[in-house]
Homo-oligomer: A and B are copies of this chain.
Amino acid sequence: MKADSIHSRRTFLQQASLGISASLLAAPAFASHSLFTPPQTGKPLGVALVGLGYYSRDLLAPALQETKNCRLAGIVTGTPAKAEEWKKKYNIPDKNVYNYQNFDRIADNPDIDIVYVVLPNSMHAGYVTRAAKAGKHVICEKPMALSVRECEGMIEACKKAGKELSIGYRMHFEPTTQEIMRIGQQKEMGQVQMVSAGAGYRETRTGHWKVKKAYGGGAMMDMGVYALQAARYVTGEEPVAVTAQTFTNRPDMFREVDETTTFQLVFPGGALANLHTSFGMSMNYLRATAEKGWFRLDPFSAYGGIKGESSKGPLQFPKINQQAAQMDEVAYCIANKKPMRVTGEEGLKDMRVVEAIYQSVKNGSRRIELKA
């Protein structure tokens, strides 16, 4: 380990012992390690989950049993049977249960501080805006929305309401991921030259919203943003040019959205990324080539944990509950008026690239230049 790296760890540990996250003091684009839960804020903030699908049920709700700075206080669902089940399981009072008709009344509910939007992508913009108008802070699942324009509207709505907006990019809160952000951005192995990443799973639900264009479906929107994020957080830069290609082995199922997309990103510092995402196969890895070595995470965005290695040896960090770390830090920042690690602007930056990717695919893989 290099001297400056040891130094930054020491500084971090000193701050940690004071109960202050180094990242919250400095708030660089991609902050240093937060290997601990942010300090407890006093009364935990109340979170309402909007949309009770798989991610809410199996990941967010269990994580909210582990969080210290926030708690599961309410739910929003269109399915009465789900409401009953959740009320019992998590001891949620009737007054904190909403449906999509009466959702806006959440404005009058002091139990709810944060609304976490976990709906199909096409509904993100609408519900984030409504939540902000209801005077709530908002976390929105990735991808942020269907277009840059929608993202801008969401950011504006939250700003106007004086409320925080964070996007559900949980990897930013994961220690091994934070370490490769540091290696890449601080050029510990010199300039990053190539990022390769694959993110996918096999989608077999032919009627699911994820294979419907109107809902913002498609592999690029759903899994591709992980690979895109990887290239952005490893380099710490925004791409200036994009090419992209799309492929399918199941044309009947993937009539409206992409099954598999490969895309190339040119970064201003000289790095190139060659990435792929798919609804046809299970894959999850990231490998970066730098001037003086390489590093990889395989898997790189799995819920169950990240496995890291570099040309210098294993990258070992404690396994954490990613969603709990994410929500705890968001709640801490809200309670203490600290800058968010993952802002709405971060989601917008991805959408800007996703739009260019679609544009390239539509134009036979033509190179699309992005303004710096």
A281 in contact with B287 (CB, 8 Å)? no
Q: Is A285 an interface residue (CB 8 A)?
A: yes
User: Do A247 and B266 touch across chains, with their CB atoms under 8 A apart?
Assistant: yes
With an 8 A cutoff between CB atoms, is A367 at the interface? yes
- Indicate if the CB atoms of B262 and A198 lie closer than 8 Å: no
Contact of A281 among B266, B275, B289, B366 (CB under 8 A): B289
Residues of chain A from 111 to 141 with CB closer than 8 A to chain B in the complex: none
In the assembled complex, A194 has its CB within 8 A of some CB on chain B = yes
Whether the Cβ atoms of B194 and A196 lie closer than 8 Å is no
Chain B: which residue is nearest A278 at the CB level?
A: B194
Task: Tell me if A364 is interfacial: C-beta within 8 Å of chain B.
Answer: yes
CB of A156 closer than 8 Å to a CB of B: no
Residues of B within 8 A of A274 (CB): 196, 198, 262, 274-276
Q: Which residues of B contact A260 (CB under 8 A)?
A: 272
Q: Taking the full assembly, how many copies of this chain does it contain?
A: 2
Per DSSP, chain A at the interface is strand
Contacts of A198 in B (CB 8 A): 194, 196, 274, 287, 289
- Among candidates B243, B247, B296, B364, residue contacting A272 with C-beta atoms closer than 8 Å: B247
| Among candidates B249, B270, B282, residue contacting A289 with C-beta atoms closer than 8 Å | B282
A200 to B198 CA separation, bound complex (whole angstroms): 20
Q: Within the assembled complex, what's the spacing in Å between the Cα atoms of A364 and B245?
A: 12
- Residues in B neighbouring A275, C-beta threshold 8 A: 274
Nearest CB in chain B to that of A250: its residue:
B270
With an 8 Å Cβ cutoff, the count of chain A residues facing the other chain is: 34
Q: Which residues of B sit under 8 angstroms from A355, Cβ to Cβ? A: none
Are the C-beta atoms of A289 and B283 separated by less than 8 Å? yes
The reply to whether B262 and A272 contact each other, CB–CB distance below 8 Å, is yes
Residues 251-294 of A contacting B (Cβ, < 8 Å): 260, 262, 264, 266, 270, 272, 274-276, 278, 280-283, 285, 287, 289, 291, 294
CA gap between A283 and B290 in the complex, in Å: 9
Complex: A262 Cα to B231 Cα, angstroms: 16
| A147 at the binding interface (Cβ < 8 Å) | no
Identify the closest chain B residue to A363 (Cβ): B364
List, in ascending order, chain B residues with CB within 8 A of A289's CB. Answer: 198, 200, 281-283
Query: Which B residues lie within 8 Å of A285 (CB)?
Result: 287, 294
The answer to whether the Cβ of A41 comes within 8 Å of any Cβ in the partner chain is: no
Q: Does A37 contact B (CB under 8 A)?
A: no
Pairs A-B, 9 closest by C-beta atoms: A365-B365, A193-B281, A283-B289, A262-B274, A249-B270, A274-B276, A243-B245, A262-B264, A281-B289
26 contacts between A and B (CB under 8 A): A193-B278, A193-B283, A194-B200, A194-B276, A194-B281, A194-B283, A196-B274, A196-B276, A243-B245, A247-B266, A247-B272, A249-B270, A260-B272, A262-B264, A262-B272, A262-B274, A272-B276, A274-B274, A274-B276, A281-B289, A283-B294, A285-B287, A287-B287, A287-B298, A296-B298, A365-B365
Q: Which residues of A contact B (CB under 8 A)?
A: 193-194, 196, 198, 200, 243, 245, 247, 249, 260, 262, 264, 266, 270, 272, 274-276, 278, 280-283, 285, 287, 289, 291, 294, 296, 298, 364-367
